[in-house]
Amino acid sequence: MAGKRDPNELATDEIKKVMDDLKNMGIWAFDIVGGEPFIRPDIFEILSYGREIGLQMMVNTNGTLVDERTMEKLQESNPTVMVGVSLDGPTPELNDFVRGKGSFEKATRGIKLFVEGGFDPVILHVVNKMNWKHFEKMIELAKKLDVKKLYVDRFIPVGRGVQSKKYLDMDDKEWIVAIEHVRNIIEKYKDEITFYVEENITGDPCTAGKSHASILVDGNVVPCGHFRYNKELYMGNVREKPFSEIWNSYDPDKELPLPKVCSDCPLVKDCYGGCRAVSLHRYGSFEKQDIPLCYMRKKEGGFVIKSWGW
């Protein structure tokens, strides 16, 4: 979480207990995000413990705190950790508008250090109003940095993002153009770069609470990190019961319901209404489908598209 350190954050031993539970569940990876993971004084102890119990670890960082000493400690604690570095534009102007002055230079330096240190970093990129036209340049930068993997997400106005909505969000028609552009570029470079693309761009069914969930800093569990401010969507707390018990008792189809407008759609199995976070945070209700992706999928399927009020 961004901002001041939460006084109720999980202690090291509590995190290790959660990791034991996750290992026993057979999950494929435990991803530590933030805020900034490298601010935690016990981050290398946590990564080392993951290595000890055979749990695949991931760390998502902004890269600004990464230096040669960080590389040494990372190599010592967990040389197989998967690393993602946030970069929201191929230039300082585009990236720093979102992430703060000087962050582009620090992030790209961090990426270079990860590559030199023998890691295989993934660039974490969020498509928004300001940067979507520069997506191909983003790929060119990745190749220049010798990065072979790119994660692609879509801006959703959550948390501090609400304050930047007028600069980073778009209307539905603009999102259609932007998403189509990004998809085309991904298709163009799919043999050169490995892409990890969120369903809010691919148009596939939302995976929140189905294939992943997020454990917040205080132990609360949400089906997707975009719901961290929606207490009514909390699944439980790992301080009160094991994550495995929380996960196995959760019904995503009930808690994150399909929009009624989608119930009789012949394409419902293909998209299931789209990203539930988009529905809630862009339209204010789970009763709304992800309109740009709905439009695009119906168009691709050859369906006659009725008026969308544009």
Dump the DSSP string for 26-77.
T-S-EEE-SS-GGGSTTHHHHHHHHHHHT--EEEEE-STT--HHHHHHHHHH
Which one, of 193, 190, 181, 100, lies nearest residue 146 by Cα?
193
Summarize the chain as % helix, strand, coil (round to 5).
45, 10, 40
| Beta pairing partners, 114 | none
Backbone phi, psi, residue 56, to 5°: -65, 125
Residues 6 or more apart whose CB falls under 8 angstroms from that of 299 comprise 305
In this structure, what token pair is assigned to residue 126? 């969020």
pLDDT at 308: 53
244 CA to centre of own chain: 22
Do the beta carbons of residue 123 and residue 150 sit within 8 Å?
yes
- Strand pairing report for 82-86 and 122-127: parallel
273: left (phi over 0), alpha (psi -120 to 50) or beta: left
Could you tell me the pTM of the whole model? 0.93
Residues 6 or more apart whose CB falls under 8 angstroms from that of 102 comprise 96
| Beta pairing partners, 123 | 85, 150
pLDDT at 160: 83
What residues of the chain score a pLDDT lower than 70?
1-4, 304-310
Checking 95-103 for CB contacts under 8 A at 24+ apart, the result is 97/130, 97/167, 98/126, 98/128, 98/130, 98/164, 98/168, 99/62, 103/62, 103/64
Q: What is the pLDDT of residues 241-286, one digit of tens each?
A: 999 999 999 999 999 999 999 999 999 999 999 999 999 999 999 9
**Which H, E and C letters describe 255-282, residue by residue?**
HCCCCHHHCCCCCHHHHCCCCHHHHHHH
Which strand (E) or helix (H) includes residue 167?
helix 165-168
pLDDT at 3: 53
Question: How far apart are the C-alpha atoms of 49 and 43, rounded to whole Å?
Answer: 10
Do the beta carbons of residue 167 and residue 140 sit within 8 Å?
no
Question: How far apart are the C-alpha atoms of 80 and 57, rounded to whole Å?
Answer: 8
254: left (phi over 0), alpha (psi -120 to 50) or beta: alpha
pLDDT at 35: 83
pLDDT at 300: 85
Do the beta carbons of residue 10 and residue 219 sit within 8 Å?
yes
pLDDT at 306: 57
